[in-house]
Chains A and B, each alone.
Chain A
Amino acid sequence: MAAATIDAPFEVYRFDPAKDPSPRYQRYSLSLPPHTPVLTALLKIRAELDPSLTLRYSCRSAICGSCAMLVNSKSRLACQTQIGPEIARHGRIVVDPMRNLPVLRDLVTEMRPFWSNYRRIEPHLIVDPERPMPVDKPTTMTPEQVARFEETPRCIACAACYSACPAVEADPAFPGPMALAKLYRFVVDPRDAATKQRLVKIQPGGLWLCLRCHLCTEACPKGVRPSERIMDLKELALQAQGATEAGSRHALAFKDNIRERGILNELRLVRQTSGYGGILAQLPQGIRLVRKKPEIRKTPKEIQGREEVEKLYEILDPEEHS
């Protein structure tokens, strides 16, 4: 089944910190069928052109999680990204190591920050000694309990989400999408006895730092949809503890604020999120903002057709708004 080949120009990030003063891109010209995975192409480079090209890989079937890297700037698994569509769109294939992790050599990154964030969420069942597992038999679960495991068991810990996450880049305290999706997996596990503690513990400097940009969900090669799991966690966290964090207060304030006039009142938002103390703390920033954008001082007028907004709230949360 010899398929027609296409020209596949590769530009691959090369850097050996032990001997190279700075990173460079090395070009390789290949001719391959369009359905060839990027990993297969890189292994062909290793086997036939340059055995010094360094990357992690193992299963080549998207289950071991070794080969996450940037393909044309997107965090992907090299083994399940085909060259054809990449070349059609970008004319070439630029391969870089993942973002948010230091480079050890070429496409190999230091994974320790990723794993330490994973360990931070206590990724293991915590069983209540008062409620031990059944003796000599498996636990049973209701279909509703089972349904909550829909996406998270697919995670292969490839770190593509971690690489794609701007919150990780901005704040090293943010555990990252994978760790939070893993946390959700334990929070919804009926065998786990630490649900409440987990939800309380993850809030300060953790859960609410998510920017809701959904880049992790776009990057995830396995459909875990981490940003949705994070939103699920936020909801569970509010239920478990109420709005005790700036992040959770901000979320609630946003909701009330929009509902009132259909448009954001930014000054009130700051007060509701951080209190008067928060306004004081943010005063210098606020003054700069007002200079640049004077209209922000005015309380915004209610938008036309605010009733429609109210209807949306009723649809989204019928109990609260009935």
Chain B
Amino acid sequence: MERHDVLVVGAGLAGQRAALAAIQAGRDVAILSKLHPLRSHSGAAQGGINAALGAEDSVDTHIYDTVKGSDYLGDQDAIEFFCKEAGPTVVEMEHFGTIFSRGDDGSLARRAFGGAGFPRTIYAADRTGLALLQALYERIGTESFTLYEEWDLTSIVVREGRCQGVIAFNRLSGSFEPIAAKSVVIATGPAGRVYGRTTNAHTCTGDGIAAAYRAGAALKDMEFVQFHPTALLESSILITEGARGEGGILKNGKGERFMSRYAPHVLDLASRDVVSRAIWTEVEEGRGFPGGYVHLELMHLGQEKIETRLEEICDFSRKFAGVDPVTEPIPVMPAQHYIMGGIGTNLRGETNIKGLFAAGEAACVSIHGANRLGGNSLLETLVFGKQAGIAAAEYAKVAPASTLRESEAEPDAARVKAMSNRAEGEEPQRLRMEMQNVMDTQVGIYRAFSALANALRAIRALQARFEKVRIVDPSSTFNLNLTDALETGHMLDLAETIIVGAIARTESRGAHARTDYPKRDDAHWMRHTLATYSHEGPKLSYAPVAYTRWEPKERVY
């Protein structure tokens, strides 16, 4: 059985940064990922990374914008720490070799982003995630660590009051293996594929969040799901907020700049929840284009700006939507983009389970609260990835050896074998698509009790059907059908926590908009939702929000 001091699950920016910190602390480190590190979804982040580096800008303004953007659900102590780390983090990544876009004077270029008081988003054209991922992978490549590449996480083992390691499925060999570790860092990224209309990659199935939940970790604020305002129609491929940051504008079917009605001061650069609701409302009230969408216009920016600063999305629009942004508007609609919730952690990435840490989109510190600002998620992966790596290394230094046993992989192997041996049963992808349809239609931008209650019944029915799911592919090499089943099981758990949290939260805050409770209710709901696993479904409890300097105010853009 393999053994490590620190095992990081997930090889995106958060995972690699955690691993680097733990390696630098002198621990034996391994990374386990279902994708090669350079294939991670971090690389799909387009717009940029926030740091108040401009002379007119300040860390305090970044803190304020983030607190306000979070609709006062973000923990202010965490946000202060986060924003103070922004500058050093960006500088470090530049020194690691990140190729950022630059101004004429050779300094790092900055662009405007939604909900931000100043242009503070540092970028690399519109592939900032890829630029950071390349640089971090290049940097960590000079260190020595073990990489379990193309392995699926199936379980986290918690015994004797602490994490003992994980069980994982090796796609190439087809075996379930226990991996012992004193510290485990979950950095498996998003769970966006619980939705069908999502900007997330197909592989964003929340495996680490679900495994942590089953192992007893509390999931925080899962009901807060961000819908990005601008995704291509059919494919839901992301069109970066940077497009509006560079001056792009939204227009409805009547040719109106409708954002003037929803955010009179900052128009198209309001916070994402605000812009997504505005687009949704325009279309619902019949002011969209036939078929239900709005236009994102870039033509007035001119060919050069579009093709250099927005190179990727220009290419995407041409190749995936058959639209040339230089000469015509891009048809867009909101799509699921980010889950503010995740495995609850503190500033050091520690969860409620000893030896279990989390960082990045899989975690919830919480700095994004009820709504994340663009440019803050790349920063979060690096800032809190590092913290989790440091904390995991410190714990591993003093923790006793893991008592994980070889036999502990057997239950997962047996569970999957039962799925493979079934003569009849449902295809996991069918259940996945039904789940996605439920989430798209009933747990979307606007929510109400009746639809949420229907959704919960539907998801529980799918969970029951999942008990009889069948893996038809008998192969032991790269059995993706088996991976489909593992992922679908994980996502059904997470869909349930999103819905249960959303039903309970009888208010509207940030991305959680209840038509039956349209007002924010600070008296009752200025608190974090915590969901823990039980056989009967998620058990909810609540935790206070940390306040330092910023009194809750009405949020106007």
Stretch at the interface among B221-229, B386-394, B443-451, B468-476: B468-476
Residue A301, interface by CB 8 Å: no
**Cβ contact within 8 Å between B475 and A16:** yes
Residue B77, interface by CB 8 Å: no
A229 to chain B, nearest CB (A): 14
Given A52-B481, A64-B44, A123-B141, also A153-B131 (CB < 8 A): yes
Residue B99, interface by CB 8 Å: yes
Given A47-B433, A124-B139, also A59-B473 (CB < 8 A): no
**Cβ contact within 8 Å between B201 and A104:** no
Q: How many Å lie between the Cα of A266 and that of B127 in the bound state? A: 48
Give the chain A neighbours of B477 by CB distance below 8 A: 16-18, 54, 104-105
**Cβ contact within 8 Å between B481 and A51:** yes
- Which residue of A has the minimal Cβ distance to B129? A63
Q: 0/1 per residue, B364-394, Cβ < 8 Å to A? A: 0000000000000000000000000000000
Residue B539, interface by CB 8 Å: no
Q: How many Å lie between the Cα of A43 and that of B315 in the bound state? A: 22
**Cβ contact within 8 Å between B94 and A138:** yes
**Cβ contact within 8 Å between A58 and B39:** yes
- Which residue of A has the minimal Cβ distance to B95? A133
Residue B291, interface by CB 8 Å: yes
**Cβ contact within 8 Å between A153 and B124:** yes
Give the chain B neighbours of A63 by CB distance below 8 A: 43-44, 127, 130, 312
**Cβ contact within 8 Å between A141 and B91:** no
Give the chain B neighbours of A140 by CB distance below 8 A: 102, 105-107
**Which of A65, A123, A133, A153 sits near B127, CB closer than 8 Å?**
A153
A143 to chain B, nearest CB (A): 6
Residue A146, interface by CB 8 Å: yes
**Cβ contact within 8 Å between A64 and B475:** no
**Which of A58, A108, A124, A139 sits near B201, CB closer than 8 Å?**
A58
A156 to chain B, nearest CB (A): 7
Give the chain B neighbours of A195 by CB distance below 8 A: none
Q: How many Å lie between the Cα of A137 and that of B475 in the bound state? A: 53
B78 to chain A, nearest CB (A): 23
Q: Residue among B124, B127, B319, B433 with the most chain A CB within 10 A?
A: B319
Q: Residue among A18, A37, A64, A119 with the most chain B CB within 10 A?
A: A64
A224 to chain B, nearest CB (A): 12
A245 to chain B, nearest CB (A): 27
- Which residue of A has the minimal Cβ distance to B45? A63
Q: 0/1 per residue, B300-333, Cβ < 8 Å to A? A: 0000000000011001100110100000000000
Residue B424, interface by CB 8 Å: no
**Cβ contact within 8 Å between A52 and B41:** no
Residue B548, interface by CB 8 Å: no
Q: How many Å lie between the Cα of A19 and that of B474 in the bound state? A: 10
Residue A322, interface by CB 8 Å: no
Q: 0/1 per residue, B457-501, Cβ < 8 Å to A? A: 000000000000000110111111100100000000000000000
**Cβ contact within 8 Å between A65 and B131:** no
Give the chain B neighbours of A59 by CB distance below 8 A: 41, 43-44, 201-202
Q: 0/1 per residue, B427-459, Cβ < 8 Å to A? A: 111100100000000000000000000000000
Give the chain A neighbours of B39 by CB distance below 8 A: 58, 64-66
Give the chain A neighbours of B142 by CB distance below 8 A: 124
- Which residue of B has the minimal Cβ distance to A2? B291
Residue B503, interface by CB 8 Å: no
Given A46-B429, A136-B91, A138-B107, also A153-B134 (CB < 8 A): yes
Residue A149, interface by CB 8 Å: yes
Residue B416, interface by CB 8 Å: no
Q: 0/1 per residue, A144-181, Cβ < 8 Å to B? A: 01100100011011000000000000000000000000
Q: 0/1 per residue, A56-95, Cβ < 8 Å to B? A: 0111111111100000000000001010000000000000
Give the chain B neighbours of A154 by CB distance below 8 A: 127, 311
- Which residue of B has the minimal Cβ distance to A140? B106
Residue A304, interface by CB 8 Å: no
Residue B35, interface by CB 8 Å: yes
Give the chain B neighbours of A138 by CB distance below 8 A: 90-91, 94-95, 100, 107-108
Give the chain A neighbours of B91 by CB distance below 8 A: 136-138
Q: How many Å lie between the Cα of A16 and that of B96 in the bound state? A: 41
- Which residue of B has the minimal Cβ distance to A40? B235
Give the chain A neighbours of B130 by CB distance below 8 A: 63, 153, 156
**Cβ contact within 8 Å between A105 and B478:** yes
Residue B233, interface by CB 8 Å: yes
Give the chain B neighbours of A312 by CB distance below 8 A: none
**Cβ contact within 8 Å between A139 and B94:** yes
A237 to chain B, nearest CB (A): 22
- Which residue of A has the minimal Cβ distance to B46? A63
**Cβ contact within 8 Å between A111 and B36:** yes
Given A37-B320, A63-B44, also A141-B106 (CB < 8 A): yes
Q: How many Å lie between the Cα of A68 and that of B350 in the bound state? A: 38
**Cβ contact within 8 Å between B41 and A149:** no
Given A65-B38, A65-B39, also A18-B322 (CB < 8 A): no
Residue A1, interface by CB 8 Å: yes
Residue A214, interface by CB 8 Å: no
Residue A125, interface by CB 8 Å: yes
**Cβ contact within 8 Å between B235 and A61:** yes
- Which residue of A has the minimal Cβ distance to B108? A138
Near B by CB (< 8 A), chain A positions 93-115 give 104-106, 108, 111, 115
Give the chain A neighbours of B479 by CB distance below 8 A: 54
Residue B104, interface by CB 8 Å: yes
A222 to chain B, nearest CB (A): 8
B468 to chain A, nearest CB (A): 16
**Cβ contact within 8 Å between B43 and A191:** no
**Cβ contact within 8 Å between A64 and B43:** yes
Residue A27, interface by CB 8 Å: no
Residue B138, interface by CB 8 Å: yes
**Cβ contact within 8 Å between A61 and B237:** yes
Residue B238, interface by CB 8 Å: yes
Near B by CB (< 8 A), chain A positions 238-287 give none
19 contacts between A and B (CB under 8 A): A16-B475, A16-B477, A35-B322, A51-B472, A52-B472, A52-B475, A55-B480, A58-B203, A60-B202, A63-B44, A138-B91, A138-B107, A140-B105, A141-B102, A141-B106, A143-B104, A143-B106, A146-B106, A157-B38
Enumerate chain B interface residues (CB-CB to A < 8 A): 35-36, 38-41, 43-44, 88, 90-91, 94-97, 99-100, 102, 104-108, 124-125, 127, 130-131, 134, 138-139, 141-142, 172, 201-203, 233-235, 237-238, 291, 311-312, 315-316, 319-320, 322, 427-430, 433, 472-473, 475-481, 484
Enumerate chain A interface residues (CB-CB to B < 8 A): 1, 16-19, 35, 37, 43, 46-47, 51-52, 54-55, 57-66, 80, 82, 104-106, 108, 111, 115, 119, 123-125, 133, 136-143, 145-146, 149, 153-154, 156-157, 185, 189, 191
**Given A37-B320, A124-B139, A153-B124, 9 new contacts (CB under 8 A):** A17-B477, A51-B473, A54-B479, A80-B320, A105-B475, A124-B142, A138-B90, A146-B106, A156-B38
3 tightest A-B contacts by CB? Answer: A140-B106, A52-B473, A138-B94
